[in-house]
Amino acid sequence: MYKNVLLCLFLLLSVGCASLVDKAGEGDLKSVQRMVGEGANPNETDDCTAPLVYAAEKGHVEVVEYLLAHGADPNVRLPECIRSIPLLGTVRTSGHTALYYVRDPAMVKILMDAGANPALAGATEYKDGSAGADFPLTVAIRSDNLELMELYLKSGATPNYYSESGENFFIWQASLNKKKKPELAAQMIALLRRYGARDLNTSATALKATESGPHLAYRNIYTGQVTTMDSGIAQRLYNYPNSLAPITFDSHQKRYLHMVHFEWVDNGQNLHEWYLQRVLYLKATRKASSSGTP
């Protein structure tokens, strides 16, 4: 008898302590409805995820549709989180949206019909101090999904994101298919170029233009909100950009995001493009100085 009472008490406490994130991830629609009806925030973040993101990732269509109909932001961005990834070790992530975790075209359509923006990327910072932008478009390319690529591109996804050398990352990613699936690789690259994919401008003129700094204020391209950088950090970014990862703080969203989301207020240049050009310019000038080249 006492065992049964204790078991019932344990079950009640377990259910009572479960979060909306937990129930959304389990696909428990009734519990999600009850919790939202009782005032739970559909945009809460917990354990590195959010109800909508977790439900979408797990493929729970009814839960996703319910959350979207009851205030869930289709572009809700995940908080900063420390994760362990096989082969990469410990990384710090921030700003990912539901689209990044979804592979199913039907789920993608539900999210995008609700306003999900495929141009938004999460940031992943690695142990060596480098950082990358994680786009839904990257997932589509890695999944060999030409249809999803085109959907993202025609819906506003940027075709231009660059490696440290200035090479177009998406074209490089698509080109990895050249040996096993040459026809698909060619179609992917052609699609990217049709939407304006190009390499970074690394001409001497473009690199030297980064001398007009340092800059302080930057604007989130997608929200229009402006953040002012600490002057000390701005000076360090100008003089030693390689000492900082290409992520920066959005004072309105209260989280770190990849520089690709921002532009300088004074000249309208994308922060990540400026950052890469600045690194390349300083590298070239220091090399020339050490070799005695005028």
pLDDT in tens, 143-168: 999 999 999 999 999 999 999 999 99
Residue 183 domain-assigned (yes or no): no
Residue 271 domain-assigned (yes or no): yes
Beta carbons of 18 and 27 less than 8 angstroms apart: no
Q: Which residues pair with 168 in a beta bridge?
A: 162
* Contacts with 230 (C-beta within 8 Å, 6 or more apart), sequence order: none
Alpha-carbon radius of gyration of the chain: 22
pLDDT tens, residue by residue, 34-48: 999 999 999 998 778
Please state, in angstroms and rounded to a whole number, the distance separating the CA atoms of residues 241 and 234: 9
Q: Answer whether residue 293 shows pLDDT above 70.
A: no
Residue 129 domain-assigned (yes or no): no
What is the pLDDT, as a whole number, of residue 288? Answer: 79
- Within the chain, what is the greatest distance between any pair of CA atoms? 90
Q: Answer whether residue 6 shows pLDDT above 80.
A: no
pTM of the model: 0.89
Residue 71 domain-assigned (yes or no): no
Mean pLDDT within 260-276 = 98
Residue 143 domain-assigned (yes or no): no
Mean pLDDT within 113-127 = 96
pLDDT tens, residue by residue, 58-105: 999 999 999 999 999 999 999 999 988 887 789 999 999 999 999 999
Residue 271 structure tokens: 């922060």
What is the pLDDT, as a whole number, of residue 11? Answer: 37
- 3-state SS, residue 85: strand
Beta carbons of 46 and 16 less than 8 angstroms apart: no
Residue 117 has a CB neighbour count (10 Å cut-off) of 17
| 19 conformational bin, left if phi > 0, alpha if psi -120 to 50, beta if neither | beta
Please state, in angstroms and rounded to a whole number, the distance separating the CA atoms of residues 121 and 197: 17
Residue 223 has a CB neighbour count (10 Å cut-off) of 12
Q: Give the residue among 160, 89, 98 at the shortest CA–CA distance from 125.
A: 89
Residue 201 domain-assigned (yes or no): no
Question: What is the pLDDT confidence band of residue 213, given thresholds at 50, 70 and 90?
Answer: confident
Please state, in angstroms and rounded to a whole number, the distance separating the CA atoms of residues 30 and 35: 9
Question: What is the pLDDT confidence band of residue 17, given thresholds at 50, 70 and 90?
Answer: low
What string of H, E and C letters represents the secondary structure of 108-143?
Answer: HHHHHHCCCCCCCCEEEECCCCCEEEECHHHHHHHC
Percent of the chain with pLDDT over 70: 93
Please state, in angstroms and rounded to a whole number, the distance separating the CA atoms of residues 248 and 251: 9
Q: Give the residue among 229, 219, 258 at the shortest CA–CA distance from 97.
A: 258
Please state, in angstroms and rounded to a whole number, the distance separating the CA atoms of residues 246 and 151: 27
Beta carbons of 197 and 160 less than 8 angstroms apart: yes
Residue 60 structure tokens: 């729970």
Cα four-point dihedral sign 105, 107, 109, 115: negative
Residue 250 domain-assigned (yes or no): yes
- 3-state SS, residue 145: coil
Tokens 């590298």 label which residue? 283
Domain count, the chain: 1
Mean of the per-residue pLDDT values of the chain: 92
Beta carbons of 79 and 128 less than 8 angstroms apart: no
**Domain coverage including residue 247:** 211-287
Residue 190 domain-assigned (yes or no): no
Separation in Å, CA 284 to CA 33, 48, 85, 252: 59, 40, 35, 36
